[in-house]
């Protein structure tokens, strides 16, 4: 059945029709009017109470429908109710950097909710996976200590806010460095930011790209282009004047993903999305522990004690798995994220044989949500023959243990299907 899904208009979203979120909502809902001055940030698909999906036609809450039809949910991860969806699926359109943040693990999520339910609204963890739809920039995960020390030698302002003198060999740890950085007085930070801005502007060559460009000043992966941290730092100073988060490009890995590339943020990993459009799938939680780049509440001490300082090596990249000629799967570690995985379905018309333009989706023992990203299709429930037409922006719910057939009604179509983490069953 088709769902009615709604948008979130956070300040960091892209404005008007520049936003893929707005275009997707408009494609699914002809009555939706795009305002060119409104930042459309997120398109939510699921049953999270902050922006729940409805059953199109009846406009009944999907969560209510599921409570009355629990068999449609199927198998859920341990600890989740048997009558509700265990994941949240989104499109994000990012025009301005999001906050530097971490998410708690399951134990800490319960603890934070019990002690401060006004701030931490639920007891769950919040693993999340982002798949780039356009060129997508992010800061994700700690830089190794030796990498940070290399920047400190070149940038004394960074050493000053981290409590490190780059001319000495005094031993330091990532935890001590981050504690000093996040608790350094605002006056010191603002003075060092002013000095850093002058230094970086002086270093910038006329031929270098301005904000949004990418320069291989320091590469963190041979397979993926790194954002120039100096350029990103200047951009963050412009977006968030006086905010210590402008130092974070030298403390966090800075990546630029091309469409189809993905990364996973497990618990206790500092990160921030910077720009671009992506799909995001996550556990259905709202637990965000913020550190910088936001006017919202920053829980500094919890951030410091939550970060996993042993995880600085490597990149949080999710390697796509080719299932067949049409399907590619993005699967995070099942132990860390049993709630979700995502499947990319790409179909192209075979002009010589109409029968070849229909495909059966895998029948699985859990419910799933399907987003039509582009093109148009009809989806037929094989047993009942119920048929639903869908085009770009449409969102459909497929009950557990339901066999459906997808038929192209355009030259090509791209669909994304999210369900619980099957751990390799398909």
List residues with catalytic annotation: 290
Spatial CB neighbours of 166, under 8 Å, sequence gap ≥ 6:
149, 152, 153, 156, 159
Report the phi/psi class of residue 293: left, alpha or beta, with left for phi > 0 and alpha for psi in -120 to 50: left
Element (H, E) at 113: helix 106-115
Cβ atoms within 10 Å, residue 229: 25
Q: Print burial letters for 291-307: b (CB count within 10 Å at least 16), e (below 16).
A: bbbbeeebbeebbbebb
Do 368 and 422 form a contact (C-beta atoms < 8 A)?
no
Instruction: Give me the sign of the Cα torsion angle 8, 14, 15, 19.
Output: negative
Q: What is the DSSP letter of 18?
A: G
CA–CA gap between residue 396 and residue 103 (Å, rounded): 29
Distance CA 160, CA 177 (A): 11
Nearest to 340 by CA among 146, 90, 92, 8: 90
In 51-151 the beta strands, taken as DSSP E runs, fall at 54-55, 60-61, 88-94, 100-102, 128-132, 136-142
For residue 378, what are the contacts with CB-CB under 8 A and spacing of at least 6? 387, 388, 389, 390, 406, 407, 409
**CA-CA-CA-CA torsion for 299, 304, 309, 314, nearest 10 degrees?**
30
Q: Which distant-in-sequence residues (6+ apart) come within 8 Å of 155 by Cβ?
A: 196, 199, 250
Q: How far apart are CA 65 and CA 85, in angstroms?
A: 11
């Amino acid at each position: 059945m088709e769902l009615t899904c709604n948008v979130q208009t956070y300040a960091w979203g892209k404005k008007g029709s520049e936003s893929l979120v707005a275009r997707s909502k408009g494609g699914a809902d002809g009555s939706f009017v795009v305002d060119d001055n409104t930042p459309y940030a997120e398109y939510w698909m699921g049953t999270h109470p902050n922006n729940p999906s409805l059953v199109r036609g009846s406009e009944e809450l999907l969560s209510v429908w599921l409570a009355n039809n629990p068999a449609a949910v199927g198998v859920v991860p341990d600890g989740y109710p048997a009558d509700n969806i265990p994941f949240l699926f989104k499109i994000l359109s990012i025009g301005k950097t999001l906050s530097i943040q971490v998410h708690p693990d399951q134990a800490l999520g319960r603890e934070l909710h019990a002690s401060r339910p006004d701030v931490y609204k639920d007891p769950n963890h919040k693993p999340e996976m982002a798949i780039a739809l356009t060129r997508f920039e992010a800061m994700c995960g700690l830089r190794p200590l030796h990498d940070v020390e290399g920047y400190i030698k070149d940038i004394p302002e960074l050493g000053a806010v981290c409590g490190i003198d780059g001319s000495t060999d005094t031993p330091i740890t990532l935890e001590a460095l981050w504690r000093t950085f996040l608790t350094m007085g605002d006056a010191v930070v603002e003075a060092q930011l002013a000095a850093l801005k002058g230094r970086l502007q002086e270093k910038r060559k006329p031929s270098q790209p301005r904000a949004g460009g990418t320069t291989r000043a320091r590469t963190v992966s041979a397979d993926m282009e790194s954002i120039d941290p100096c350029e990103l730092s200047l951009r963050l100073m412009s977006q968030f004047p006086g905010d210590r988060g402008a130092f974070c490009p030298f403390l966090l890995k800075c990546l630029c993903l091309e469409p189809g590339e993905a990364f996973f943020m497990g618990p206790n990993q500092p990160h921030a999305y910077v720009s671009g459009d992506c799909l995001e799938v996550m556990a259905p939680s709202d637990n965000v522990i913020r550190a910088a780049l936001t006017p919202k509440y920053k829980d500094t001490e919890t951030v410091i004690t939550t970060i996993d300082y042993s995880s600085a090596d490597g990149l949080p990249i999710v390697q796509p798995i080719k299932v067949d000629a049409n399907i590619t799967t993005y699967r995070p570690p099942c132990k860390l994220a049993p709630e979700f995985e995502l499947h990319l379905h790409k179909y192209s018309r075979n002009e010589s044989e109409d029968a070849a333009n229909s495909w059966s989706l895998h029948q699985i023992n859990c419910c799933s949500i399907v987003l039509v990203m582009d093109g148009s299709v009809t989806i037929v429930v094989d047993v009942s023959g119920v048929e639903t037409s869908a085009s770009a922006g449409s969102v459909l719910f497929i009950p557990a243990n339901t066999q459906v057939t997808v038929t192209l009604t355009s030259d090509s179509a791209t669909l994304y299907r999210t369900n619980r983490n099957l751990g390799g069953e398909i």
